Copies of this chain bind each other. A is one copy, B any other.
Amino acid sequence: MNDVIELLKSHRSIRKFTEQAVSDELINEIVSCGQAAASSSNIQATTVIRVRDTDKRARLAELAGGQRYVSSAAVFLVFCADLHRPQLACEMQGGDFSVGMTEHFIVATADVALAAQNCVVAAESLGLGICYIGGLRNNPQDVADLLGLPDQVYPVFGLCLGYPDQDPEVKPRLPLSTVLKENSYLNPSDISGIEVYDEHIREYYKSRTGGKKDSCWSEEMKALVGKESRPHMREFLKKRGFSMK
């Protein structure tokens, strides 16, 4: 269709990087692209912390569940949802910050994700590979302490960046007809869409692992949403000032 669409459709997570450094100039350009994304009411709730310190990187790799590419990638960025800066601005104008509302939490989280995805597209256009690290939410309080995050700031995810030292296949997705609906959610073919995808991704996993991984999407979803995930997040966010009242 065009080069940008080719780029977007060729995304895959990279977990193995060469030793090649990424220049500061590129990182500045990438984060500027993140800033260029739309921002709800121009709140600009994204703060990016680049972690260069090797001890902190090693600790973050551990906190994220032992994902060693968190320390081995050329660059590691922590994307934070930041309502502290709007608070500061509000107080500079003599206002009182009204904390912890669900809506502001949604706005800040979505803002960060829009900015991060722009960073990813920019990085991939420059030949870099990336991997999002949701595992920072395994131990969010320790991450917050390590990075000195003030209240009203939480780490949404991390991002590894570097020059790829692997070339994995693109992961197949659900059929378009299952995720794109018209006028109404109702779609009696959702189950058959999942069934088609289950077969498709089972073949993909088998081929990728030489037959070792024999699993499908619905089995993975059973493992994922059949139990509570990171149950500490509620309390953590409350302590951070996102009280969800």
A positions within 8 Å CB-CB of B: 1-5, 7-11, 13, 27-29, 31-33, 35-38, 40-44, 46-53, 56, 80, 83, 85-90, 92-98, 101-104, 106-107, 109-110, 112-114, 116-118, 120-122, 125-126, 130, 132, 134, 137, 147-150, 153, 156-157, 170-171, 173-174, 176, 178-186, 190-191, 194, 217-222, 224-231, 233-234, 237, 244-245
This chain: copies in complex = 2
Cβ–Cβ contact B28 & A122, under 8 A: no
Cβ–Cβ contact B176 & A32, under 8 A: yes
Q: How far is the CB of A221 from chain B (nearest CB, A)?
A: 4
Residue of B nearest to A137 (CB): B103
Given contacts A5-B29, A85-B174, 16 further A-B contacts (CB under 8 A): A11-B36, A31-B176, A35-B176, A38-B120, A41-B220, A42-B217, A80-B185, A86-B224, A87-B225, A90-B218, A92-B191, A98-B225, A98-B226, A102-B230, A102-B234, A110-B156
Inter-chain CA distance A218–B97, complex, in Å, is: 12
Q: How far is the CB of A219 from chain B (nearest CB, A)?
A: 6
A88-B191 in contact given A98-B228, A229-B104, A231-B103 (Cβ < 8 Å): yes
Q: How far is the CB of A37 from chain B (nearest CB, A)?
A: 6
Q: How far is the CB of A30 from chain B (nearest CB, A)?
A: 8
Q: How far is the CB of A93 from chain B (nearest CB, A)?
A: 4
Cβ–Cβ contact B3 & A179, under 8 A: no
Residue of B nearest to A181 (CB): B49
Inter-chain CA distance A121–B230, complex, in Å, is: 32
Cβ–Cβ contact B37 & A117, under 8 A: yes
Q: Tell me which residues across on chain B come within 8 A of A41, comparing CB atoms.
A: 134, 220, 224
Inter-chain CA distance A134–B117, complex, in Å, is: 18
Residue of B nearest to A13 (CB): B38
Q: Tell me which residues across on chain B come within 8 A of A1, comparing CB atoms.
A: 29, 126
Inter-chain CA distance A222–B93, complex, in Å, is: 7
A226-B4 in contact given A92-B218, A137-B103 (Cβ < 8 Å): no
Q: Tell me which residues across on chain B come within 8 A of A28, comparing CB atoms.
A: 176, 180
Inter-chain CA distance A28–B5, complex, in Å, is: 12
Inter-chain CA distance A233–B102, complex, in Å, is: 6
Inter-chain CA distance A224–B109, complex, in Å, is: 16
Q: Tell me which residues across on chain B come within 8 A of A170, comparing CB atoms.
A: 36
Among A8, A11, A137: residue with most chain B CB under 10 A: A8
